[in-house]
Structure 1
């Protein structure tokens, strides 16, 4: 087992990893930087497979090129360039996002069935200043071209918002969204959201590696749920939880569509029910004193 961190010397970033069962025997940490060429050479040397999951998730930035695009794009190419040079690497699993799928022109409508053939439009992302989506689509497009040019067996996963129990001791953006709902906030100004369970997403990564026939892209996404549906579930599961009322009168931007997840289910993955995911999310937040 191999895990990479930008700084293995930062104990706050690594303590929870070193505490995992079997970490002492099977986990190695390496210092690496997405923007440094050859930074991953030592970590990837001798590996059979590489999971590239690291890319900043930010929706408010002052310098999109530096904060989002360079780490996503240059980081991906730096990792793949090392994979090209290490003969033991048989497959690369790249974590992209539904952000690289859904930003299109004309906009996706309620009658559209989104599948793995849908790609976001970089020009539209620039025009609308959707910098996160731009970083993901530029990185994924570059990865596909690099893999094609260099004969790399690569599988790409496109998850959306993710919930479920936290491994790290700090909030990430997706789970912070659940906390926002509890506090009566709706930062994306949407009535409907789609979440996947982090354990399902992790399992898809493993299946994408261990299934020889796995290929191309795999969208990982849950059903449409309104903010009020999510809040109602939480109130029933945790009646003692102080949940603020949401503002029903606010005008919300919507992009409701149907998403086909048959391809990922064909890997043998059964999605965790949203009720279970939300329950385990709140339990985890409470255990880590984040709620």
Structure 2
């Protein structure tokens, strides 16, 4: 790889984005990372990464086009990772979720109009899995899209925000000649590079404490490790043949079975009682991504690394 290629990662201090920044720096990239406040201690972990001398943090907001434009200027590629995650009920979904997700994505794409060769959009499997008409004997793949009406009726506002964002991004890039690849990760697990708990990790921590919060209340878990997601993002960026949309999921597992596997590894935690063993569930497939060469780590390694990290940081204690 040619040295000193320059790329931008939005929301660089987040869970997945931090792992992506770490990976990009290890591969010799110069990275422009957007964060709300470069001096905030919650972003300090980024400055401690190996090769952090090649990382420049920009104060930027996805709703502020000028700040985004400054961060993206001179970059050959952009990874748009920044996005609000609100999985519980929200007071004003339009303001809290939909507007920043959709408008923020379009602002990023507009800032990419000069010189950016490829944009990788981190979407979500939320844009695929909420499709009640999809047969259970058919793997959910890139041809499966969530039903917007179904999501609206159930007030799945996070799903709606990601669906609209992905749709608008595809439309914009098609109309403006931008090369866009979309990656849709499932629920992301794995150790944290930052010192604060992100929302998806918080749900797993609560589960290990015997409490179920969304998405752990669902009868199926679609899971992928943050390190595997970062590998997938770089893979689709680097692969000339990468096109369209990619599901990024390692494991589809019934929640009761997931709980049993956790209990075997860590018998001393409090686990919720689960009674949905007979309920059918869809498998979420990543065959298209694997055809590019994507590999995922074993389930046990991912879960062990995750739980051990929670314990080491004091987010979780043994009973």
Task: Output the TM-score relative to the length of structure 1.
Answer: 0.91
* Partner residue in 2 for 1:181: 207
RMSD of equivalent CA atoms: 1.9
For the residue of structure 2 that corresponds to 1:40, the secondary structure is helix
More displaced stretch, 193-202 vs 171-180: 171-180
Q: Does 1:93 align with 2:133?
A: no
Pick one of 31, 47, 53 that aligns with 2:81: 53
| Distance (Å, rounded) in 1 between the aligned partners of 2:111 and 2:127 | 24
Deviation for aligned residue 1:254: 5.9
Q: Is the 8 A contact 2:254 2:281 kept in 1?
A: no
Q: Does 1:281 align with 2:310?
A: no
Deviation for aligned residue 1:288: 1.7
Q: Is the 8 A contact 1:164 1:197 kept in 2?
A: yes
Q: Is the 8 A contact 2:256 2:277 kept in 1?
A: no
Q: Is the 8 A contact 2:127 2:162 kept in 1?
A: yes
Pick one of 33, 37, 43 that aligns with 1:3: 33
Q: Does 1:126 align with 2:152?
A: yes
Structure 1 gap segments, 5+ residues each: none
* Partner residue in 1 for 2:174: 148
CA-to-aligned-CA distance 1:168-212 (integer Å, 9 cap, x gap): 111122222221221112223223212111111000000011111
Pick one of 141, 151, 165 that aligns with 1:115: 141
Deviation for aligned residue 1:97: 0.3
For the residue of structure 1 that corresponds to 2:247, the secondary structure is strand
* Partner residue in 1 for 2:289: 264
Q: Does 1:172 align with 2:172?
A: no
Q: Is the 8 A contact 2:222 2:284 kept in 1?
A: no
Q: How many residues align?
A: 283
Deviation for aligned residue 1:125: 1.9
CA-to-aligned-CA distance 1:44-99 (integer Å, 9 cap, x gap): 00001000001111122111011100110000000000101x22x10000000000
Task: Output the TM-score relative to the length of structure 2.
Answer: 0.84
| Distance (Å, rounded) in 2 between the aligned partners of 1:178 and 1:253 | 23
Q: Is the 8 A contact 1:35 1:71 kept in 2?
A: yes
